[in-house]
């Protein structure tokens, strides 16, 4: 049984955002709203030093699919709606998720009320919530037109395209709803629906710099296992004891 | 290998910051109990089913070959064309926005007609939907009226983004056969001044290719090629490896991504690129670091380049170059790094260090010059100075260096001369309203005076002579937003009798339209052949429909042209239609098109036929036919042949790489003769400082600045967003959401970035609403204090500030209120007159900042 993990090479990453956009396309995540970003792949960005000795560091972030997830024990559902698979994926069962927030509150990489600092890449949340009382895909449920009779509305586009989101990526899945309903939490699945069929996660697949290396940490011959064995790395908030499976190597800036 | 905690903290200042950030997120430590985690299998899952349809992005000028995943007739997601060599199977973030742009709810879905005769910014055009029939009737009536009055030259067409092949219909055939000289490209508001660097030194007036897989030292100068400019996915792919094996150097007043990642960041004072380049050239010569193989050497081997001392031209034997010693004597001998420090604010020690670094890796050193070092008044000479460094380093046309380009063989459209009637012949070659070739506007692209477009001057031409243009057609353009001082365009278009706009969205320019012809989103709905190059290969990529068209929209260059030609024929002017219907034949069947969709396919087949039914075997990809080409989507050429211009084959007056530009001298001589004046006088009236021999060598011209330091104390730096799909993506929530990926920027916002020291002086803080005022106008936006810009200089990204286009892009579309501010509103309408390019860089407009 493999154990999946991801390495992100910061020297190769240029913070272009292609990974996060491909993630949105692959997973049909909605637009930001109600203090939730709905970006399963996102970024921390920090500017350091004083001019002219300034550098910037961009750090792509996503669910760490921890070995010791803080979220799972807090889930009140029996069996827990958020669960870990034998091959290392941490998934949410949207059939049983009650939208209670325990996972989001307990995850060291998430925050319940994402504030404006996230717009500058200072904060983030890998878990997002779909409000119980509001449209799940507000952009595509809107019925207003900018120029009546001449431009369409979100709902009209979706209807004409024949899908809840016009660009919906209709994948198959048991626990994860490809388009989430109201009232459930959502997060990165490591593209379970792709990886179990031999494809790479969308963010890895599209990275123009090949900064993301995904694979089986338990297979000593895999590229990722070799990197973790040989290269210096860090993981986020190791002090929380979550044993994350997303590793970072090298420096974003040659001057850092 | 796990980092120890000490290494973790010491290894990178970044991680310290990150720990602090994380601390904010996790206010209360939690101790998960591993015992509580039960492992459980997940149920079945599978990726979506569908097919990858090849197409071409055109979100910037890289024109990357992409593939769009189509499921149930819907465009879903995007990746680079897996067979592409120029973008190696990847696209940059722009490509991923194609489906979002395709399904933008604010897209125009049917033709529209204006019902409010009053035109102006903020005036509701009161558009109503009409049929294509009615829309084209309106356009054709206006065009016929001009011909009847013997004034077809008062019809103008201006193109924005276009297909590199099909443009020969709307931009080529239509104006020629109809009979107007007034057809224009948008090019001069983009980066044309850049082309003067390689153009006037090596006779290549184009965008260079880079062999990044073998580059050891990359100098990004006035651009951030991992974000914008050209070859974006290719540069993203190779940048990390270049950092690992060599050096990355970024010359940019603001901390771009390249600057953030670079070994050396030179935050140059805007507009002083020529001074830095001259100082670097000075170092390379004084220290004997030039490339002997390309440039040659002193006859007795002794380096006579000593600061301040003139050199005897006869002492040096050049190889592939011309005029090195002249350049030294005229410009370089006194341009020491210490001198340059006064102009550029770059410490002399850094200039010295970087010049040596560049020489160390040469000739695998590529100086990648971008618009930031050229698109300003007097920018031609800065472009020459920066590009000339490639000559000194021997990087021209060598592996790992700076290359000219390779093009795929494409089919030409049939000759149209027989379809030009007397009216067309009489009016088609007249004077153009953009003022090119005037005494003070040499616009000498390709070294031919009066040959370059002066896009932004069209508005001035229309204002000066309100009768000059009576009917305007324009496609994929938004000059009321994308040109500096756009109020001129507002005025010019408000007084224009008739304007038809071919666009996807109701942009700022569309607000002045009488008729709107809704365009296909060509990356996902068009059909054409797009060619470009990158990473030593040329390519021809198809653009074809991915999924079904949802709305009643038509491709502007092919389908609409056919339908318009039919309307003109019905009104007694059959020439255009007859040309299309009689001369264009399917290269396989010989059949002529009978409707607009067949016409569009025949055009794409004619353009691409030499690739898939070649007369003799090609050196690049092998294609089995039209169907195979559509399925693969791309033809890649063989690799560029290096040293193409070596051995006296550069396209210059001397056939050499000219450090003393005989090519420029020839062009200027011709232009001066036309006005019976001197070159010195031409330069003077065109705003250049050079006189005499200095005019013919790459050199530093002090920046021209609108606004006094007293009234407008800050330099302003404009640059492009990595998510700009040429200004068409600001209406996408994903653009707004990831705006923060532009260094220093804030998502869903538009921030002016200012050094904290300046903020302290002015009592301004992050989040303040500020007014930016220049001699041209003012805009209001948010402030962010940021260490990525030097005191005295402020910077803001171009892209936001829409007051139309859509409900996401605009602050309030109905009220014509902007989201943030459009940089162009504060940039003065000025030019680099040797190229005709619009000035937008180089700090040429001073600004002041006040709390709003």
Q: What is the distance between the alpha carbons of residues B194 and B189, in angstroms, rounded to a whole number?
A: 11
Cβ pair B48:A11 closer than 8 A = no
pLDDT higher for B29 or B252? B252
Name the burial class of residue B35, with classes exposed (0-12), middle (13-18) and buried (19+) by CB atoms within 10 angstroms of its CB.
Answer: exposed
A86 φ, ψ to 5°? -60, -25
Cβ pair B46:A208 closer than 8 A = no
Give the mean pLDDT of B538-561.
98
Kind of pairing, strands A82-84 and A90-92? antiparallel
Window 159-198 of A, Cβ < 8 Å to B: 160-163, 166-176, 192-194, 196-197
Structural domains for chain B: 109-202+418-519+554-578 (3.40.50.740), 207-403+647-661 (3.40.228.10), 714-851 (2.40.40.20)
pLDDT of residue A193: 98
Instruction: Pick B740's closest partner by Cβ from A91, A121, A229.
Output: A121
Give the residue among B268, B197, B253, B262 at the shortest CA–CA distance from B226.
B262
Arithmetic mean of pLDDT over chain B: 95
Disruptive mutation site among A1, A5, A10, A18 for chain B (greatest number of B CBs within 10 Å): A18
Q: Residue written as tokens 């002045």?
A: B512
Q: What is the distance between the alpha carbons of residues A92 and B605, in angstroms, rounded to a whole number?
A: 50
Task: Give the minimum alpha-carbon distance from B567 to chain A in angstroms, rounded to a whole number.
Answer: 23
Report the length, in residues, of chain B.
852
Cβ pair B100:A167 closer than 8 A = yes
Q: Does A86 touch chain B (CB under 8 A)?
A: yes
pLDDT of residue B209: 98
pLDDT of residue B476: 98
Cβ pair A108:B26 closer than 8 A = yes
Disruptive mutation site among B59, B244, B741, B820 for chain A (greatest number of A CBs within 10 Å): B741
pLDDT at A238 over 50: yes
pLDDT of residue B13: 37
Disruptive mutation site among B96, B249, B791 for chain A (greatest number of A CBs within 10 Å): B96
Disruptive mutation site among A17, A59, A201 for chain B (greatest number of B CBs within 10 Å): A17
Cβ pair B46:A108 closer than 8 A = no
Check: CB of residue B792 under 8 Å from CB of residue B715: yes
Which chain A residue's Cα is nearest to B6?
A234
Q: What is the distance between the alpha carbons of residues B217 and B238, in angstroms, rounded to a whole number?
A: 12
pLDDT at B9 over 80: no
Tell me, what's the ipTM?
Answer: 0.98
Mean pLDDT is lowest, of A237-241, B9-13, B537-541, for: B9-13
Q: What is the distance between the alpha carbons of residues B25 and B215, in angstroms, rounded to a whole number?
A: 41
Cβ pair B741:A17 closer than 8 A = yes
Arithmetic mean of pLDDT over chain A: 97
Cβ pair B746:A120 closer than 8 A = yes
Chain B residues near residue A142 by CB distance under 8 angstroms: 105
Q: Does A51 touch chain B (CB under 8 A)?
A: yes
Q: Work out the pLDDT band at B2, boundaries 50, 70, 90.
A: low
Which tens digits make up the pLDDT trace of B24-73? 333 333 444 444 578 999 999 999 999 999 999 999 999 999 999 999 99
Tokens of A105: 């509150």
**What is the CATH T-level fold of the domain A4-249, as seen in this structure?**
Alpha-Beta Plaits (3.30.70)
Task: Give the minimum alpha-carbon distance from A17 to chain B in angstroms, rounded to a whole number.
Answer: 6
Q: What is the distance between the alpha carbons of residues B18 and B652, in angstroms, rounded to a whole number?
A: 54
What is chain A's alpha carbon radius of gyration, rounded to the nearest angstrom? 19
Start-to-end C-alpha separation, chain A: 39
Which tens digits make up the pLDDT trace of A79-114? 999 999 999 999 999 999 999 999 999 999 999 989
Which tens digits make up the pLDDT trace of A240-252? 999 999 999 999 9
Instruction: Pick A79's closest partner by Cβ from B30, B40, B76.
Output: B40
Which tens digits make up the pLDDT trace of A142-182? 999 999 999 999 999 999 999 999 999 999 999 999 999 99
Q: Is residue B98 reached through a cis peptide bond, with omega within 30 degrees of 0 on the bond before it?
A: no
Which chain A residue's Cα is nearest to B787?
A51
Q: What is the distance between the alpha carbons of residues B45 and A27, in angstroms, rounded to a whole number?
A: 13
pLDDT over 70 percentage in chain B: 96
Which tens digits make up the pLDDT trace of A184-203? 999 999 999 999 999 999 99
Name the burial class of residue A105, with classes exposed (0-12), middle (13-18) and buried (19+) by CB atoms within 10 angstroms of its CB.
Answer: middle
Give the mean pLDDT of B445-449.
96
Check: CB of residue B43 under 8 Å from CB of residue B74: no
Cβ pair B18:A59 closer than 8 A = yes
Cβ pair A254:B74 closer than 8 A = no
Q: Work out the pLDDT band at B15, boundaries 50, 70, 90.
A: very low
Query: What is the domain partition of chain A in residue ranges?
Result: 4-249
Instruction: Pick A199's closest partner by Cβ from B47, B103, B232.
Output: B47
Sign for the CA dihedral angle at B72, B75, B76, B78 comes to positive
pLDDT at B19 over 90: no
pLDDT of residue A170: 98
Instruction: Pick A51's closest partner by Cβ from B45, B738, B790.
Output: B790
Check: CB of residue B48 under 8 Å from CB of residue A191: no
Q: What share of chain B is helix, strand, coil (3-state, %, to 5)?
A: 35, 20, 45
Instruction: Reduce the DSSP state of residue B412 to 3 states and report it.
Output: coil
pLDDT of residue B1: 58
pLDDT of residue B18: 45
Tokens of B643: 């040293």
Cβ pair A17:B722 closer than 8 A = yes
Cβ pair B740:A211 closer than 8 A = no
Chain A residues near residue B789 by CB distance under 8 angstroms: 51
Chain A residues near residue B76 by CB distance under 8 angstroms: 25, 167-169
Chain A residues near residue B43 by CB distance under 8 angstroms: 173-175
HSE, side-chain direction, 13 A CA sphere, residue A192: 27
Instruction: Pick A151's closest partner by Cβ from B79, B106, B738.
Output: B106
Which chain A residue's Cα is nearest to B740?
A120
How far are the Cα atoms of B236, B492, B650 from residue B366, in angstroms, in the given order?
15, 43, 19
Check: CB of residue B98 under 8 Å from CB of residue B59: yes
pLDDT at B723 over 70: yes
Cβ pair A153:B26 closer than 8 A = no
Tokens of B790: 């030097």
pLDDT of residue B46: 98
Which chain A residue's Cα is nearest to B17?
A46
Q: What is the distance between the alpha carbons of residues B76 and A163, in angstroms, rounded to a whole number?
A: 11
pLDDT at B564 over 70: yes
pLDDT of residue B34: 46
Q: Residue written as tokens 């994350």?
A: A244
Give the mean pLDDT of B753-765.
98
pLDDT at B11 over 60: no
């Amino acid at each position: 049984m493999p154990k999946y993990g991801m390495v992100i090479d910061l020297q190769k990453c240029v913070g272009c955002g292609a990974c996060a956009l491909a993630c949105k396309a692959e997973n049909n995540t909605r637009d930001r709203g109600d203090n939730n970003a709905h970006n399963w792949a996102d970024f921390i960005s920090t500017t350091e030093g004083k001019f002219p000795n300034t550098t910037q560091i961009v750090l792509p972030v996503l669910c760490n699919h921890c070995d010791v997830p803080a979220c799972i024990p807090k889930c009140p559902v029996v069996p827990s709606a958020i669960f870990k698979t034998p091959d290392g994926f941490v998934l949410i069962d949207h059939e049983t998720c009650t939208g209670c927030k325990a996972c989001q509150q307990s995850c060291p990489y998430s925050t319940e009320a994402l504030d404006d600092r996230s717009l500058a890449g200072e904060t983030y949340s890998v878990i997002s919530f779909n409000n119980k009382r509001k449209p799940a895909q507000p952009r595509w449920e809107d019925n207003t037109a900018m120029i009546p009779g001449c431009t369409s509305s979100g709902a009209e586009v979706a209807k004409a395209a024949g899908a809840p989101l016009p660009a919906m990526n209709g994948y198959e899945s048991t626990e994860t709803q490809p388009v989430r309903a109201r009232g459930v939490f959502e997060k990165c699945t490591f593209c379970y629906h792709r990886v179990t069929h031999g494809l790479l996660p969308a963010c890895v697949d599209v990275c123009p710099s090949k900064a993301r290396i995904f694979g089986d940490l338990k297979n000593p011959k895999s590229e990722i296992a070799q990197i973790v064995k040989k290269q210096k790395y860090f993981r986020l908030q190791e002090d929380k004891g979550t044993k994350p499976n997303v590793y970072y190597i090298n420096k974003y800036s040659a001057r850092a | 290998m796990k980092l120890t905690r000490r290494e973790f903290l010491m290894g990178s200042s970044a991680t310290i910051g990150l720990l602090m950030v994380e601390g904010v997120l996790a206010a209360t430590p939690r101790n998960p109990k591993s015992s509580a985690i039960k492992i459980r299998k997940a149920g079945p899952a599978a990726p979506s089913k569908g097919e990858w349809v090849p197409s071409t992005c055109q979100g910037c000028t890289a024109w990357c070959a992409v593939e769009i995943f189509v499921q149930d007739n819907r465009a879903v997601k995007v990746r680079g064309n897996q067979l592409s060599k120029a973008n190696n199977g990847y696209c940059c973030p722009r490509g991923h926005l194609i489906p979002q742009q395709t399904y933008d709810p604010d897209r125009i879905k049917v033709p529209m007609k204006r019902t409010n005769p009053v035109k102006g910014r903020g005036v509701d055009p009161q558009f109503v939907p009409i049929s294509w029939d009615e829309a084209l009737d309106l356009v054709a009536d206006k065009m016929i009226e001009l011909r009847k009055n013997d004034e077809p030259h008062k019809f103008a067409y201006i193109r924005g983004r276009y297909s590199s092949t099909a443009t020969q219909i709307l931009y080529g055939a239509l104006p020629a056969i109809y009979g107007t000289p007034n057809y224009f490209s948008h090019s001069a508001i983009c980066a044309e001044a850049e082309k003067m660097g390689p153009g006037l030194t090596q006779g290549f007036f184009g965008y260079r290719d880079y062999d990044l897989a073998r580059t050891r030292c990359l100098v990004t100068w006035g651009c951030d090629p991992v974000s914008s400019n050209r070859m974006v996915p290719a540069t993203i792919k190779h940048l990390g490896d270049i950092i690992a094996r060599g050096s990355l150097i970024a010359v940019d007043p603001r901390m771009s991504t390249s600057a953030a990642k670079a070994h050396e960041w030179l935050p140059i004072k805007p507009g002083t690129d020529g001074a830095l380049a001259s100082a670097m050239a000075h170092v390379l010569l004084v220290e004997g670091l030039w490339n002997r193989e390309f440039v040659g050497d002193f006859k007795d081997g002794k380096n006579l380049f000593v600061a301040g001392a003139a050199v005897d031209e006869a002492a040096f034997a050049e190889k592939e170059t011309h005029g090195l010693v002249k350049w030294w004597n005229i410009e370089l001998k006194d341009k020491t790094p210490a001198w340059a420090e006064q102009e550029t604010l770059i410490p002399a020690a850094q200039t010295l260090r970087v010049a040596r670094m560049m020489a160390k890796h040469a000739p695998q050193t590529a100086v990648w010059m971008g618009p930031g070092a050229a698109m300003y008044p007097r920018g031609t000479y800065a472009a020459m100075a920066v590009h000339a460094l490639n000559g000194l380093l021997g990087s021209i046309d060598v592996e790992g260096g700076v290359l000219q380009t390779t093009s795929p063989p494409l089919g030409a459209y049939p000759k149209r001369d027989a379809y030009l009637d007397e009216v067309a012949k009489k009016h088609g070659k007249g004077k153009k309203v953009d003022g090119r070739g005037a005494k003070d506007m040499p616009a000498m692209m390709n070294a031919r005076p009066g040959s370059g477009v002066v896009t932004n001057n069209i508005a001035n031409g229309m204002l000066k002579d309100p009768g000059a243009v009576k009917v305007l057609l324009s496609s994929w353009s938004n000059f009321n937003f994308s040109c500096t001082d756009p109020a001129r365009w507002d005025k010019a278009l408000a007084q224009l009798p008739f304007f038809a706009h071919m666009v996807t969205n109701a942009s700022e320019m569309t607000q002045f339209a009488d008729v709107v012809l809704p365009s296909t989103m060509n990356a996902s709905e068009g059909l054409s052949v797009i060619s470009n190059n990158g990473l030593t290969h040329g390519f021809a990529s198809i653009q074809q429909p991915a999924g079904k068209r949802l709305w009643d929209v038509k491709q502007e260059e092919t389908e609409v042209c056919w339908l318009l030609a039919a309307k003109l024929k019905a009104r007694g002017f059959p020439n255009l239609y007859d040309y299309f219907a009689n001369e264009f034949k399917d290269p396989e069947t010989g059949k002529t098109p009978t409707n607009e969709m067949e016409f569009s396919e025949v055009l794409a087949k004619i353009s691409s036929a030499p690739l898939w039914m070649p007369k003799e075997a090609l050196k690049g990809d092998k294609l089995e036919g039209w169907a195979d080409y559509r399925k693969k989507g791309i033809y890649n050429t063989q690799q560029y042949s290096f040293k193409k211009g070596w051995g006296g084959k550069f396209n210059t007056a001397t056939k050499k790489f000219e450090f003393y530009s005989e090519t420029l001298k020839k062009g200027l001589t011709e232009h001066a003769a036309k006005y019976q004046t001197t070159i010195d006088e031409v330069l003077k009236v065109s705003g250049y400082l050079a006189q005499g021999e200095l005019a013919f060598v790459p050199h530093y011209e002090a920046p021209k600045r609108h606004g006094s330091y007293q009234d407008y104390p800050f330099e302003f730096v404009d640059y492009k967003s990595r998510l700009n799909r040429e200004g068409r993506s600001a209406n996408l929530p994903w653009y707004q959401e990831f705006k923060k990926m532009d260094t220093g920027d804030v998502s869903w916002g538009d921030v002016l970035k200012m050094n904290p020291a300046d903020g302290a002086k002015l009592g301004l803080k992050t989040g303040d609403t500020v007014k930016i005022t220049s001699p041209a106008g003012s805009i209001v936006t948010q402030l962010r204090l940021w260490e990525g810009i030097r005191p005295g200089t402020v910077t803001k990204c171009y892209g936001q500030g829409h007051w139309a286009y859509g409900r996401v892009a605009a602050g309030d579309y109905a009220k014509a209120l902007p989201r943030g501010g459009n940089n162009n509103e504060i940039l003065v309408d000025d030019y680099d007159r040797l190229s005709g390019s619009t000035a937008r860089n180089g700090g040429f407009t001073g600004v002041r900042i006040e709390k709003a």
